[in-house]
Each structure stands twice: as C-alpha cells, then as structure tokens.
Structure 1
C-alpha cells in the first residue's frame, strides 16, 4: 500500500480527501497516474490524514526521522 493509498484510506475515499483539500477528485486520480503527489499538496495531506510528508514525498522531504530524533 502506498502513502497515497494510506491517505485516501484515512480520509475515507478519494472524494473525501479531495474535499478536505479543496480540490476535485480527478486530481487525485492523476497523482496515481503520475505516481507522485504534488509537493504543494503534501503538507495539507499530512495535516488532513496524518500520513507523513516523508512517506508521501521522500524525494523532497527525505526519509522519516527515527523515533526520538528531531524532525
């Protein structure tokens, strides 16, 4: 399961996630097609679902910090 899958599941559906982000659901389908969440949406997804920015875009935010390590 990808980080985007986990975010969609946490929100309840693609439509629910899109509504939380104030965007249209087809945008999320496009992220699946491109296999990347746009960087400008990552923080909002993290806030809305709890899925880490590090999991959503490790190429931008790096790996998740170890427990006890400062983010």
Structure 2
C-alpha cells in the first residue's frame, strides 16, 4: 500500500501530521510521495506505527536478516535464563 494511502486510512492522522509539521492538511493531501525530508518526522509523529520503510521504500529498503549487524561482544550474545 502506498504511504499516502496509509495516512489517509487512519482517521485524523493527516490533520495530526499537518499540525505537527506546521503545514496545511491540503499540503499533506497533495503529496503523491512523502517528501524525503519529512519521512523521519512522520515516523516520529506516528510513534513508528508507520515506518520509514513503509513511507519511502525507495529510500529506506528493509534490511534482510542476513544484512543485519550481528552481536560482536560475548556479553551481547549470551542467553539469559
């Protein structure tokens, strides 16, 4: 689903984002793509409910498990229990 569709799907979210960004609701509604400079702000405003990966996958492709950093210290890899 496109990012702007995710925003429109949640009642009141577009107005909340606009208010937090200091722009009009109409400005948000006119976006075809989320502006790159707004992606991290919107992720913060939504408390991560809509992630940067959803907002702009062209800029923030999700990393696969294979490319995620591995624990490098023995303490970080110990199991507790």
- In structure 2, distance between residues paired with 1:42 and 1:20: 13
Aligned residue in 2 for 1:16: 16
Structure 1: state its 5+ residue gaps: none
Q: Which has the larger radius of gyration?
A: 2
Structure-to-structure mapping, 1:2-13, within 5 angstroms: 2-8=2-8, 9=10, 12-13=12-13
Indicate the SS of the match to 1:17.
helix
Structure-to-structure mapping, 1:15-34, within 5 angstroms: 15-31=15-31
Please report the TM-score for the alignment, with normalisation by the length of structure 2.
Answer: 0.62
- In structure 1, distance between residues paired with 2:58 and 2:18: 23
1:66/1:7 CA distance change after superposition, 3 Å:
farther
Say which structure, 1 or 2, has more relative contact order (CA 8 Å, 6+ apart): 1
Runs of 4 or more, structure 1, over 3 Å off, are none
Structure 2: state its 5+ residue gaps: 70-81
Aligned residue in 2 for 1:46: 43
Please report the TM-score for the alignment, with normalisation by the length of structure 1.
Answer: 0.69
Indicate the SS of the match to 2:40.
helix
| RMSD between aligned residues | 2.3
